[in-house]
Amino acid sequence: MNKEELKNLIKEAGLRVTIHRLAVLLAVVKAKQPVTVYELTEILRKKENIDQATIYRNLSSLHIAGILRRLDFNHGHAHYELETGTASHQIVCGKCETIEKIEGVSIDNAIQKMIQKSKKFKNTTTHSIEVYGVCKACV
């Protein structure tokens, strides 16, 4: 995902391509893990002169537009990552705040079964699995 592609994502969502919005999106995409507002503030305040409220508003608009995914991990604060498709699988340490993203494992069958069993939902868009444990560093 290069800068031009990200610009197009924003445009296609009907949002305006501002310096700050692009910078927020770029920072989320560059991060190796789902990134918090606190971390984004650190990253962006150095280069840009960007207000905290602007970060929150852009994360929100990009999330509503379906460009970003929001994850909480039961940390009491939000984390964001690029909404790439339908799945986001992570292992989360219950002691420290380590998160490890795991790719390449599908649970599509299980999701289909869940939708079949559901009474309130006809179909779904995305899903996330959080597997909890204690990481090697914390054992």
Partner DNA sequence: TCCTTTATGCGAAAGATTTGCAAATACAAA
Partner DNA sequence: TTTGTATTTGCAAATCTTTCGCATAAAGGA
Using the 8-state DSSP alphabet, how is residue 137 labeled? Answer: T
Mask for 18-37, x = binds DNA (CB under 7 A): xxxx--------------xx
Q: Is 50 in the site for DNA (CB under 7 A)?
A: yes
Of 1, 3, 11, 118, which lies in the binding site for DNA, with binding defined by CB under 7 A? 11
Give Rg (Cα) of the chain. 17
Q: Report how far residue 112's alpha carbon sits from residue 132's, in angstroms, rounded to the nearest whole number.
A: 23
Its sign, for the CA torsion 46, 47, 52, 58, is negative
Task: Rule CB under 5 A: choose which of 45, 95, 101, 113 binds Zn ion.
Answer: 95
17 binds a copy of itself (CB under 8 A): no
Place of tokens 């490890």: 100
Least separation in angstroms between residue 27's CB and DNA is 13
Distance CA 66, CA 117 (A): 26
User: Of these partners, Zn ion, a copy of itself, DNA, none, which one is at the site of residue 96 (CB under 5 to 8 Å by kind)?
Assistant: Zn ion
| Residues that bind Zn ion in the complex, under the rule CB under 5 A | 93, 95-96, 98, 135, 138
